[in-house]
Structure 1
């Protein structure tokens, strides 16, 4: 009979391309993963991996096993969830949650004290991951729940199969300025004409917030003075009165007396989604976290 650990090791190697990267994700040594793969080959009687440059690829037999693995993992997970629900239905154990940094700051951190009070036997383990990596972790079984965003209108690809997705929150960007700045005195939502001619600090190119920033300007070439990835540092520069910044609300700490936020006429938005394996639908722990996050009852399945 094929061992579950060996099956999970094969799936990780298939996804990541090397024994070393698979070992890092699974929390084992490369030697331990290699032994699991060799054990699997003895169990099925055929090679499942073949060398390819510095990495490895699956043989046809290995690919067939990897393709069938999700059904095995889902069946096992349903067994465990059924046992938990029958026993008492109370959230307990460790729930592995992966999320992008501003979701941890703005959504998860505020509910953690209340969750700990209501579910004392539940341990929530948070890991910061970008959306694409978070989806992979949930699909591979190394995380239980992910918070991702669709800043460009789509979930990051590739989307693992057999996942459930639920809307949690719409994050919006505002312009933050010093209270002494000329924009601070404007009450109406700001448009491109109002923003023209001002100096900016913004996130570096390649980030979601830099994409948001570029979309503010159609006619004007913005005056970007500073490129800073950390929002707290951006706000410290804004407090000097010399630059302004576009800050997502989830990433924004209390502004204090020296800073004010001004809404945009056409603000950038991103939808924050919770994603988990469909086979874990009955998990009391996932349900408890979603309830604290205020997730609506409706959900839909994400297809490949």
Structure 2
């Protein structure tokens, strides 16, 4: 009979391309993952991996095993959930949650006190991961629940084995000093209001930089970007020093220092935050408890 650990190891190797990367994801040594794959090959009777440059690829037999793996994992999880449902259905045990940094700070951390009061036997183990990695971790069974945000307005594609639920809509505001001329306006800011001002913004490739570029998509001139900084606390320090504005998502925004204010935008940049989990875990009392604590706001 195929061992579940060996099956999970092969699936991780298939997704990441090397034994070393799979070992890092699974928390094993590369030697241990290699031994699991060899046991799997003995159990199925044929090779499941073949060398490919510095990495490995699946053989046709290995691909067939990986294609069947989701059904195996879902069946095992249904068995576990069925056993749990025999009890009183109270959330208990450990739930492995993966989430992007500002989702942890802005959504998970504030929900923890109420969750501890309503589900005292439930423990959350939280790991920071980018959305793509988080979805892969849940799909592979190395995490139970993911918090992810969409990319440029498009939700990340989900494997058929998973489902999602919207838990939050994040928006961006302009941060500026209280004595800035724009701070005196008692209405949402427009693109025309923002023209001609200097900025600190997140580096290219980030969601926040995409938001920033969209603000000036119709502007006749390029915006005056003075600083590219990924850390939002550092952005605030540069705004406080005077001379620049910043566009910061509310989830990501640290407490404003003295002398700083925010102003909303007429065309607010938005991103949707979703919770994602395996369909086979629908009945999990632990996941239901966390989803309840993360009601859409």
TM interval, shorter chain, is over 0.9
Q: Distance in 2 between matches of 1:293 and 1:95?
A: 15
Q: Distance in 2 between matches of 1:24 and 1:225?
A: 38
Report Cα offsets for 1:183-211 as digits up to 9, x if no partner. Answer: 11011111111001111110011111001
Query: Which has the larger displacement, 144-153 or 210-219?
Result: 144-153
Residue 151 of structure 1 and its aligned partner are, at CA, apart by 3.6
In the superposition, the TM-score normalised over structure 1's length comes to 0.94
Residue 15 of structure 1 and its aligned partner are, at CA, apart by 0.6
Alignment root-mean-square deviation, CA: 1.2
Residue 295 of structure 1 and its aligned partner are, at CA, apart by 4.9
2:18 equivalent to 1:11? no
SS in 2 for 1:176: strand
How many aligned residue pairs are there? 295
Is the CA contact 2:152–2:210 (under 8 Å) kept in the aligned structure 1? no
Q: Distance in 2 between matches of 1:74 and 1:124?
A: 22
The unaligned stretches of length 5 or more in structure 2 are none
Residue 160 of structure 1 and its aligned partner are, at CA, apart by 2.4
Is the CA contact 2:178–2:260 (under 8 Å) kept in the aligned structure 1? yes
| Moved >3 Å (runs of 4+) | none
In the other structure, the counterpart of 1:117 is: 117
Q: Distance in 2 between matches of 1:15 and 1:232?
A: 35
In the other structure, the counterpart of 1:207 is: 206
In the other structure, the counterpart of 2:156 is: 156
2:99 equivalent to 1:99? yes
In the other structure, the counterpart of 1:299 is: none
Q: Distance in 2 between matches of 1:88 and 1:51?
A: 50
The unaligned stretches of length 5 or more in structure 1 are 297-304
In the superposition, the TM-score normalised over structure 2's length comes to 0.96
Is the CA contact 2:198–2:244 (under 8 Å) kept in the aligned structure 1? yes
SS in 2 for 1:251: coil
> What pairs up with 1:1-304 in 2 under 5 angstroms?
1-157=1-157, 159-217=158-216, 218-219=218-219, 220-295=221-296
SS in 1 for 2:251: helix
